[in-house]
Amino acid sequence: MREIRWLTWEPFEYADCLACKVLPVCMGGCGYRAMFVNKDRPACGEWKYSLEHYVRARYHREKNLKAEAKLPEMV
């Protein structure tokens, strides 16, 4: 019974997930947690609320690394 429930679980059944802008990234999070820990409610990961900050920080880090690579070495 658990296997069938596991295979048929989808985040598209929840209004919160359907309205969420990060659904394509997380796809409802961990199916096991949603079914057995949170009583059939998807658990939003903490990264959902800090995704924009993470992407911006990563962009600036990569930009700085690229700029440092272009600097001529001083001898």
List the Cα angle 61/66/71 in 5-degree steps: 125
Tell if the pTM clears 0.75, that is, is over it.
no
- Domain for residue 33, yes or no? yes
**CA dist., res. 71 & res. 31, Å (int):** 47
Per-residue pLDDT of the chain (75 residues; tens, 9 = 90+): 778 877 888 888 888 889 988 888 888 888 888 888 887 778 787 778 888 898 999 999 999 998 888 766 655
- Domain for residue 47, yes or no? yes
- Domain for residue 65, yes or no? yes
Q: How far, rounded to the nearest angstrom, does the alpha carbon of residue 31 sit from its chain's CA centroid?
A: 14
- Domain for residue 75, yes or no? no
| Residue located via tokens 């985040």 | 11
What pLDDT digit, counting tens, does each position of 4-22 carry? Answer: 877 888 888 888 889 988 8
Q: How many domains, in total, are found in the chain? A: 1
Share in percent of the chain as helix, strand, coil (round to 5): 65, 0, 35
22 touches 48 (CB < 8 A): yes
- Domain for residue 37, yes or no? yes
**Domain residue limits at 18:** 2-70
pLDDT computed for residue 74 by the predictor: 58
